[in-house]
């Protein structure tokens, strides 16, 4: 039988009533003739509660025990989902990550999936099981310890299972009914997309869109797993949600597919850095070694052998970056006169595969922002993306103006 993967997020399984609603969706697909693999998250709010308990018990916690505790939320949901399906006379059983087994690296709380053997679950399907309910977000290390994949890791679990089993599709059920051209909370003109290319979704996810975890989109693109994002609170239909697929599966698309934003950005500038070979490596190695996630980078024109280096990072990593750069300076590997930090910025980006074959997108974007009196602090581009750092107070205005100017409320 064909395999379908269905993943239910925390809001979709927040209580027994919602689990029953989700189980009915699973039952519909079983009736169509699918063997179904269901990936579940912990009930809404449960992971945060478990993390809080760990931090209260041991502020300097053992990461292995952290994973043992935090992964338990998914185990509860998986068991309840299997019981609910059994009450509906659907043959189902639950699986924890170690039982499959989902083999991962040893990086506790940020493990990566290395292998998902299919023999155990395929054998159960052959015996008459129709639904395998898998606890998402977790696996087992080579040392035999429970690992977790990082926040949002159940999305990655779902895509990995779809790839391993050659699933016809992977449905991701959330509290939104698809992928929108931008955040509907910022503009009521935001439009739900019927289809979006993997590359566009990957850019939007990495730039601040919260619909899918970035790693899950990377995995789907690599293994050509068709993803469908839809709401568990809407009535089922073949046209519901947004399909994330290959560019070739989209006949026509707008030049710009969406506008993304990230509110929690900071701009950091090293003043009067020596302009010599290896200086950029010295700066960004120091930041990388302490886990600072650098995004946009700009180096000014050199003057008298000195230059300024600007980069952006999440606001919650500013203190870590400051400490790393100060340590590098003290060790003698880096020389600068001052580190200037601006925490009052936001990143706004336009994304679209149509930008590959159309000129003038950057010029139009910059003119729109200029017309609104918005000053651009930093610019970075890729083949299908343009991002700018601006003052945070102008973020919503920028998103609305760009959404209107590129007519994203209209289908192509």
Positions at the binding site for substrate: 47, 74
Which residues carry a binding-site annotation for ATP? 7-10, 174-175, 180, 185, 210-211
Packing angle of the helix pair 63-70, 46-57 (nearest 10 deg) = 150
Which residues carry a binding-site annotation? 7-10, 47, 74, 174-175, 180, 185, 210-211
């Amino acid at each position: 039988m064909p395999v379908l993967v269905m993943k239910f997020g925390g809001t979709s399984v927040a209580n027994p009533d919602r689990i029953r609603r989700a189980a009915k969706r699973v039952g519909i697909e079983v009736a169509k003739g699918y063997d179904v693999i269901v990936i579940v998250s912990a009930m809404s709010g449960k992971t945060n509660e478990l993390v809080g308990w760990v931090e209260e018990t041991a502020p300097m916690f053992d990461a292995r025990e952290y994973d043992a505790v935090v992964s338990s939320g998914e185990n509860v949901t998986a068991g309840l989902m299997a019981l609910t399906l059994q009450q509906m006379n659907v043959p189902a059983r639950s699986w924890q990550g170690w039982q499959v087994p989902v083999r991962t690296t040893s990086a506790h709380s940020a493990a990566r999936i290395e292998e998902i053997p299919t023999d155990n679950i395929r054998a159960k399907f052959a015996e008459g099981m129709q639904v395998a309910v898998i606890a998402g977000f977790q696996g087992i290390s080579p040392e035999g310890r429970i690992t977790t994949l990082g926040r949002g890791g159940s999305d990655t679990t779902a895509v990995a299972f779809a790839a391993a089993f050659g699933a016809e599709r992977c449905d991701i059920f959330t509290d939104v009914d698809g992928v929108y051209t931008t955040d509907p909370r910022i503009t009521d003109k935001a439009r739900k997309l019927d289809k979006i290319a993997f590359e566009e979704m990957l850019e939007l996810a990495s730039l601040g869109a919260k619909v899918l975890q970035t790693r899950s989109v990377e995995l789907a693109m690599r293994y050509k797993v068709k993803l469908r994002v839809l709401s568990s609170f809407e009535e089922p239909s073949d046209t519901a949600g947004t399909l994330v697929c290959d560019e070739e599966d989209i006949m026509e698309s707008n030049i710009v597919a969406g506008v993304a934003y990230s509110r929690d950005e900071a701009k950091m500038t090293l003043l009067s850095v020596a302009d010599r070979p290896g200086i950029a490596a010295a700066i960004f190695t120091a930041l990388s070694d302490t886990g600072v996630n650098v995004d946009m980078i700009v180096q000014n024109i050199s003057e008298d052998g000195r230059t300024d280096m600007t980069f952006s990072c999440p606001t919650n990593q500013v203190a870590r970056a400051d400490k790393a750069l100060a340590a590098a300076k003290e060790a003698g590997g880096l020389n600068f006169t001052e580190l200037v930090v601006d925490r009052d910025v936001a990143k706004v980006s336009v994304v679209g595969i149509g930008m590959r074959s159309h000129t003038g997108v950057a010029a139009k974007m910059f003119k729109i922002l200029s017309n609104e009196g918005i000053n651009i602090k930093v610019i970075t581009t890729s083949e299908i993306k343009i991002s700018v750092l601006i003052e945070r107070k102008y973020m919503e205005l920028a998103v609305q103006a760009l959404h209107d100017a590129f007519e994203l409320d209209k289908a192509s």
